[in-house]
Amino acid sequence: MLNGTTAEIKERSALRINPAKTCQPIGAMYASLGIHGCMPHSHGSQGCCAYHRSTLTRHFKDPVIATTSSFTEGSSVFGGSANLNQALENIFTIYKPEIVAVHTTCLSEVIGDDIPTIVKKAAEEGKVPAGCRVIHANTPSFVGSHITGFANMTKAMVNYLSEKTGETKDQINVIPGFVDPSDMREMKRLAGELNVNIVLFPDTSDVLDTPQTGIYEMYPKGGATVEQIASAGDSIATLALGTFASHPAAIALEDKCSVPTALLELPIGVTATDEYIDALRNYAAVEVPASIVQERGRLLDVISDMGQYLFGKRVAVFGDPDHVIALTRFLVELDMKPVYVITGSSGNHFETRVGEILKEQVPDAKIKQNADLFELHQWIKQQGVDLLIGNTHGKYIARAEGNIPFVRFGFPILDRMSHRVFPTVGYQGALRLVDKIIDAFFDKKDREAPEEQVELIQ
């Protein structure tokens, strides 16, 4: 499909070809699903909502619920106030959620609908039942990315729900970033091993990875409850995992409720997971149990055993900024060389941080924010790589360049399913990443070796 890509690069000031991102409302919708009993609501056209739902459904292989204001031509001209009023009445009457999380789209943002005023009027008219809540985030698709949308909706949870009562609770907030339900479950498991109480929000575990019981539940048991998010204002501290997706909400909580914040990176790899464990240990004043020490040791043993196959390998990495930063750090720990590192999101922190990580081991690496897969492909054509890591869209580059070993990582992954079950965070997640990388190398070697060189033992 991409055989026509040329190696010659011409600077483009605006055009993006195969952008390495998608739009804000997808991130906002995903964050909303991390609240228990929540109905995400797309204030815009039916087409927008359908696209956002289908993208999430294809990644998680689980049905994604959401409602829409269903803009028509009239709404586009005169505004969507009447549509949202009617929608809220219908949602609470028919679907009976505990909370509705409204996110905007391009159309409603261009019109300039005042969501708080519309919601206030709906509540005054009795369209929001007593005890139920409505929150909102502005998420225009023409600004930022799905990571921005996730950050904006998570920040809205803090602004609307979190409160400080003055009574400090024995708990630590964890804002996990735009990661899979399996990753959120692993973060909670590690905290449980430390015997630390955490409030993780948003939390899509047991929402988008539900077991098959034969009974459909519109609101599964998972998700952070409104009460838990409200109590975040009384926590000991907040761990914000990821500069782009999690830090804005944590800073808002610190400003609103004076909860101390530790701004960390996603716990992918050895050092980043150490930092997550260490932060929990220090704030909760607990000891690290032997079980976690053993997990870490098994990871180090595997890295030591397989290091000969990883050393010096050239890697191209693309995806969401928080994921790519953390993964780049882990690849350096594996003695690999991330030579091309891009994200579709904007923000100078990405280039600065990745540059810091690579300055010693790969000083000539090409690093770019607000980039696209077309340019990444051109770089690979100019000088190839041993491994490509990114979401499903990378399969076409890998295929066009002679079936480069390709490891799927990040969002969206549309042609595999294990990401919703097996984590990539923590020591266990790092083990899985090493396993996938090694398998990709070995599979290519076995596939392409002459008959007389196919080895039984690698």
**What pLDDT was estimated at residue 58?**
95
Pick the closest to residue 227 from 66, 65, 99 (CA basis). 99
Task: For residue 110, indicate whether it is catalytic.
Answer: yes
Q: Which domains does the chain carry?
A: 24-143 (3.40.50.1980), 172-290 (3.40.50.1980), 292-445 (3.40.50.1980)
**What pLDDT was estimated at residue 4?**
75
In angstroms, rounded to a whole number, what is the distance separating the alpha carbons of residues 325 and 263? 14
CB atoms within 10 A of CB 126: 10
**What pLDDT was estimated at residue 366?**
98
**What pLDDT was estimated at residue 400?**
94
**What pLDDT was estimated at residue 71?**
87
The position carrying tokens 């056209």 is: 45
Cα–Cα distance list, 230 to 64, 128, 157, 235, 399 (Å): 25, 19, 9, 10, 48
The DSSP annotation for 284-322 comes to HT-PPPHHHHHHHHHHHHHHHHHHHHHTT-EEEEEE-HH
**What pLDDT was estimated at residue 308?**
95
**What pLDDT was estimated at residue 1?**
54
CA 422 to chain centre: 15
- Describe the crossing of helices 81-94 and 115-124 by its angle, rounded to 10 degrees: 50
At residue 74, φ and ψ (nearest 5 deg) are -65, -40
Q: What is the pTM of this model?
A: 0.95
Q: How far apart are the first and last CA of the chain?
A: 33
Catalytic residue among 38, 49, 106, 362: 106
In angstroms, rounded to a whole number, what is the distance separating the alpha carbons of residues 50 and 321? 26
**What pLDDT was estimated at residue 11?**
82
Catalytic residue among 110, 286, 293, 454: 110
Contact criterion met (CB below 8 Å) for 172 and 188 = no
**Spans of the chain, pLDDT less than 70:** 1, 76-78
Task: For residue 106, indicate whether it is catalytic.
Answer: yes
Pick the closest to residue 318 from 336, 284, 300, 345 (CA basis). 345
Question: Edge to edge, what strands does the sheet with 99-104 contain?
Answer: 67-68, 38-43, 99-104, 133-137
- Describe the crossing of helices 290-310 and 426-448 by its angle, rounded to 10 degrees: 20
Pick the closest to residue 173 from 80, 240, 75 (CA basis). 240
Pick the closest to residue 409 from 322, 281, 296 (CA basis). 322
